[in-house]
Structure 1
Amino acid sequence: MSQMLIEAAEAPERIALQRDKNRDARRAAAQRIRTLDPPFAITIARGSSDHAASFAKYLFETRLRIPVLSQAPSLATLFEATSPKLSGTLAIAISQSGRSPDLIETAAAASAAGALVVALVNDETSPLAQQADILLPLHAGEEKSVAATKSYIASLVAIADLVAELQSDDRLERALDELAPVLKRAWDADWSAALEPLARIERLLVLGRGSTLPIAAEAALKFKEVAQLQGEAFSSAEVAHGPMALVRDGDPVFAFAPSDAAREGFADRLAALKDRGATILCTGSEESAVPLPVARSSDPAVDAIAMIQSFYRFVEALARTRGLDPDKPPHLSKVTRTR
């Protein structure tokens, strides 16, 4: 078994631990954010953590009505142009290691401008964790694999838990209470029928929308990182604005169908791609050329979290099918030190 597979399989027990240990901290964080009543929020993240930040944007904007923008770290590190208008806003920093210099500097600059900094970090001793106003540890345990898996899922769950606390959303709270067994079902979902169609290709489109767009972005990264396959993620609403022109007969499109209000338009886009001759590989939709079962919950956001758990097992198997070692992606390291 690869280290990636071992760590991804730990996600159900790790998120159960996180939710239990963070209960008091989560409530205290929600109270401070309510008191602040921020006009908008910024996110500070890179890589898989930035995809988790996109999930935060989706939940904050659709359920809390708080606008969210992604803060480019170079504003602080290269251009020294952090806006003074961040005073009284919320800054959400997400990192597995908490040691990337650009994230640390960006969070420090936001704090100096008067933002309330909330850090979602796996390493509680890291510089990013120590400088935050509010710390919500991920409790994912040590992650040795270069490809982040359980820490990404832990980030999604920490975000969803915070939103549920801020919104007093009983439905989301109930779905999160049931998440550990849902993730176990997701892990057992059989996506092996999609291995052969992707075993010898070099590129594909990856689609999502709403709650599943951050999942599609994470999947596209893992296609590159683990399977050395050029996956590019798009919203199904955006793919017709150019990328659809690249689709040729037989080309694969890997899709994560949302189960919220975005579902109807998503199905229409898949049908259009299918009419162009694309081979649709989709979880959560009948348009799929092969069955990719989804572990359902009582909330669309939790459905999306379950999808990436199934995908992690699949992409690890795909890497091995393509003759690759999923634990040794070329030219990459666990902690990326960018500025």
Structure 2
Amino acid sequence: MASQMLDEILSIPAVVERQNAEVGRIYREIGRRLRAADPRAAISNARGSSDHAATYLKYLLEITIGLPLASVGPSVASIYGGNLRLAGQLCITISQSGASTDLVMLQQAAARDGALTLALVNEVESPVARQAKLLAPLHAGPERAVAATKTFVASLVAAATIIAAWSEDDALLSAIEALPNPLQAAVTLDWSPALAAVSAASSIFTVSRGPGLAVAAEAALKFKESCRLHAEPFSAAELRHGPIALPGPDFAALLFVPRDQGRASMAEAEAALRGTGAAVFRCDVEGGDLPVVAAPHPLLDPICQIASFYRFVEEVARERGLDPDRPPNLSKVTVTQ
């Protein structure tokens, strides 16, 4: 019997097609409004998978528009009652449920301190959604599996569309419209050559650069919550700053290789990891150990990569005798303060 998680992974292409058709215009209008508002800087407000989506947004915002985005800990507002000087800035909250107390409180504090607030949220009747000045509904439909999959992809698509409209990048907008077909191919790819080594690994590194770092972080989280495997995400640039001392023959590593200026450093990281004896799997549209679908635009490659990874991680969970729909000690909506 298929898991709920697998059903939701296989629905990703349809989710993105529905997003483009039904709420893409909202994302584009938000992009135009942000271009007119011209904020001086931005902060993100998110936890878990949504925080990884914020990493993707950060790189797109900084690469294409030149606007710096900093991740602010929600506890600055919810626990410490801090006041942030945010006049003329943008606060972006990303959340599946929009219900966590700490996210609500930071968004409220940001608005009070002068920021324009934008929320990317699946539950449009949630406190975060209702209180945001600008709302980008993820429109992914109910997500019942504990592990977020389709809502994470929907967050990336919403972020990319907003940035494409903000930067007036027609090529990126067209590529987003064409994304459902590559995603349909991505969720069917076979990563079984990595199944045995990854399922038996004592620990896993997930590695990328730039926008792909969001996928590395999301992959590491999914190994932990769905497979009970310890995993850590790293930028390829960080491996030499200490972490490369850890891997050995009992390790595995997944490298999510971008089609941009980060490729060279990924090759260096791959060589270093293979030198440790770890089982290394390169995920690269230009040829690697595991197949990857090329997105219609290089900035969208992480979306296709994570879709293929999700299919794989669900298989790893079952290989390890686990129920991917019922990870221990977790619930679908996490409320923190």
> Is the pair's TM-score, using the shorter chain for normalization, greater than 0.5?
yes
CA drift of 1:286 comes to: 7.5
User: Are 1:32 and 2:30 an aligned pair?
Assistant: no
What residue number does 1:191 align with?
A: 191
User: Are 1:321 and 2:319 an aligned pair?
Assistant: yes
What residue number does 1:209 align with?
A: 209
In the alignment, the residues of structure 1 paired with residue 102 and residue 28 of structure 2 have an alpha-carbon distance, to the nearest angstrom, of 29
In the alignment, the residues of structure 1 paired with residue 86 and residue 139 of structure 2 have an alpha-carbon distance, to the nearest angstrom, of 29
What residue number does 1:56 align with?
A: 57
In the alignment, the residues of structure 2 paired with residue 278 and residue 203 of structure 1 have an alpha-carbon distance, to the nearest angstrom, of 10
CA drift of 1:171 comes to: 2.2
SS of the aligned residue for 1:120 comes to: strand
Identity, % of aligned positions:
46
Gaps of 5+ in 2: none
In the alignment, the residues of structure 1 paired with residue 37 and residue 172 of structure 2 have an alpha-carbon distance, to the nearest angstrom, of 23
CA drift of 1:249 comes to: 3.5
SS of the aligned residue for 1:252 comes to: strand
What residue number does 1:123 align with?
A: 123
| Cα deviation digits, residues 3-28 of structure 1 (max 9, x gap) | 00001111111111112222332233
| Cα deviation digits, residues 78-115 of structure 1 (max 9, x gap) | 111131x2011111100000111110111111011111
Say whether the 8 Å CA contact 1:95–1:121 is kept in structure 2. yes
- How does 1:147-166 map onto structure 2 within 5 Å? 147-166=147-166
Say whether the 8 Å CA contact 2:24–2:161 is kept in structure 1. no
Say whether the 8 Å CA contact 1:171–1:298 is kept in structure 2. no
Say whether the 8 Å CA contact 1:97–1:126 is kept in structure 2. yes
Gaps of 5+ in 1: none
Q: TM-score, normalised by structure 1?
A: 0.96
**What is the count of residue pairs matched by the alignment?**
336
In the alignment, the residues of structure 2 paired with residue 261 and residue 155 of structure 1 have an alpha-carbon distance, to the nearest angstrom, of 24
CA drift of 1:254 comes to: 1.4
| Cα deviation digits, residues 110-164 of structure 1 (max 9, x gap) | 0111111111000111111000001110000000100000000000000000011
Q: 2:295 aligns with which of 294, 297, 303?
A: 297
- How does 1:209-228 map onto structure 2 within 5 Å? 209-228=209-228
SS of the aligned residue for 2:217 comes to: helix
Say whether the 8 Å CA contact 1:49–1:155 is kept in structure 2. yes
Q: What amino acid sits opposite 1:257 in the alignment?
A: V
What residue number does 2:169 align with?
A: 169
CA drift of 1:68 comes to: 0.3
What residue number does 1:92 align with?
A: 92
